[in-house]
Amino acid sequence: MALSAPIAFAGAVTVNAGSLVLGSGSSGVGGVTVANGATFAASSGATATTFTTPSLALGSAGSTLGFELAAASNPVVPLLAVTQANGLTLGGGSHTIALASTGALGVGRFTIVDYAGTGISSGFTLAPLPQRLTGSLVYDTTATTIDLDITGVDTLRWKGGSSTTWDTGAAVDVGGTFDWVLASTGTTVTNFYTGDQVGFDDSAAGGTVSIVGTVAPGAIAATNAALDYTLGGPGSIAGSGVLTKTGTGRMTLLVRSEEHTSELQSRQYLV
């Protein structure tokens, strides 16, 4: 169950099974209990906000805390605040923190959980990060926070060697068309997966790109100077990622915007 709008009520929330997603920015919730094997998640829009609760009790055999982001940069506020002293109880279990993002996270450290009371130094495992990010959890017992420290992010660069199709795979390196390379190597071929940050420069085999289905990049950076691009096809671009155009080359967008709320930035040439 997902309730995307912020909520404000004083009742307790119990997740006995499955997953419950609530919109961040909610306040007044009278405590959250998450049973063994269940998931509680806070979802933010284009601007990250804080889900606030006086207490959060997790199962003795392990629960999952999820955070769904769509911002174009790292959050500057805690994603979850537990305000009551020692209100965050782990129940002796080994729990999971899982992050999902359709925006554009970058290298840096931000707070996942802000709590009050005695410092917590263990108890969570970080699920594999999205968008080809690498990082780790940091337990700050002085500030009483659990932070995520992103230490690396790999982006994609359009290659277009095998076709002109931009589509979406089922997972990283699973399904879809392998018309991209990792920017870190310049040669490792891969597919596009939702939330990937993508770039278009002068190194591609050609500038014609046909979008099939709905693609939702975390960010688009067009740095082309000598190679002009035309993005068309039957598909559409969705999400809240920022499109930045630099370089003197031309980029033409002939696709539908599927509730796309990205910021458009252009330097040296008008998109």
**Predicted local confidence at residue 45, as pLDDT:** 80
CA dihedral sign, ordered 66, 71, 74, 79: negative
**Predicted local confidence at residue 46, as pLDDT:** 81
**Predicted local confidence at residue 258, as pLDDT:** 61
**Contacts (Cβ under 8 Å, ≥6 apart) of 163:** 177, 179
**Predicted local confidence at residue 26, as pLDDT:** 58
Digit-coded pLDDT (tens) for 182-205: 999 999 999 999 999 999 999 999
Digit-coded pLDDT (tens) for 73-85: 899 999 999 999 9
Angle in degrees, CA 120, 136, 86, rounded to 5: 15
**Predicted local confidence at residue 225, as pLDDT:** 97
**Predicted local confidence at residue 241, as pLDDT:** 81
pTM: 0.80
Regions of the chain where pLDDT drops below 70: 1-10, 24-28, 257-271
Listed as own residue / partner, the contacts of 123-126 with beta carbons closer than 8 Å and 24 or more positions apart are 123/90, 123/93, 123/94, 123/95, 124/65, 124/94, 124/95, 124/96, 124/97, 125/94, 125/95, 125/96, 125/97, 126/96, 126/97, 126/99
